[in-house]
Amino acid sequence: MGALYLPTLETEQLILRPLTINDAPALFAYASDPAVTQFTDWKQHCSLKETASFIQKITTPLWGIEHKEYGLIGECGFVQRSAETADIQCAIAPAYWGNGLATQALNHLIAFSFAEYHYQHLQSWVIADNVRSCALARKLGMKHETTLHEYWYTGTHVHDVYIFNISR
């Protein structure tokens, strides 16, 4: 992929754009919510300062998901596994769950990643208990590839992880 190339992308309702320090309050609002973080590999943010530090340290392709009417509602992006494969990730504020916005953002991001980053495969690693994210992966056309049993620890809980895949 080379240098971090992060253009602004637009869908019918959303603008996918680089996060800035000005996004810290909106990002903190959902990153501090246990409903959002219960199935993530990152811990709940405890302060606005922690969120600001997170934004300043971003080194992977990570877009803010800005709703054209409501402002910043989440983030989505990639963690590169190899030159041909990356993990796609997304977090959205609970007030916007279940209305197709994550699907809209990630469909656009998948198309962009295949065209611009030339990935051959995108994966989504999802805790098996995260029913919403499993349904989202399937809605995006991703196929369940494998299950990693007792793989992911969140606090004191161990979880099975489903790996979903979509190919170019």
* Tens of pLDDT, residues 105-118: 999 999 999 999 89
Indicate the SS3 state at residue 105. Answer: helix
- At 37, list the tokens: 């973080």
* pLDDT value for 4: 59
Distances (CA, A) of 58 to 43, 98, 110: 16, 27, 20
Where the chain has pLDDT below 70, the residues are 1-5
Amino acid at residue number 108:
H
* pLDDT value for 3: 46
Helix intervals (H) in 32-100: 34-37, 48-56
Give 40-71 pLDDT, tens digit per residue: 878 889 999 999 999 999 888 999 999 999 99
All structural domains of the chain, each given as residue ranges with its CATH number in brackets, are 9-167 (3.40.630.30)
Q: How far is CA 48 from the centre of its chain?
A: 20
- pTM here is 0.91
User: What's the sign of the alpha-carbon dihedral 51, 54, 56, 61?
Assistant: negative
* pLDDT value for 5: 63
- At 42, list the tokens: 């990152």
* pLDDT value for 40: 83
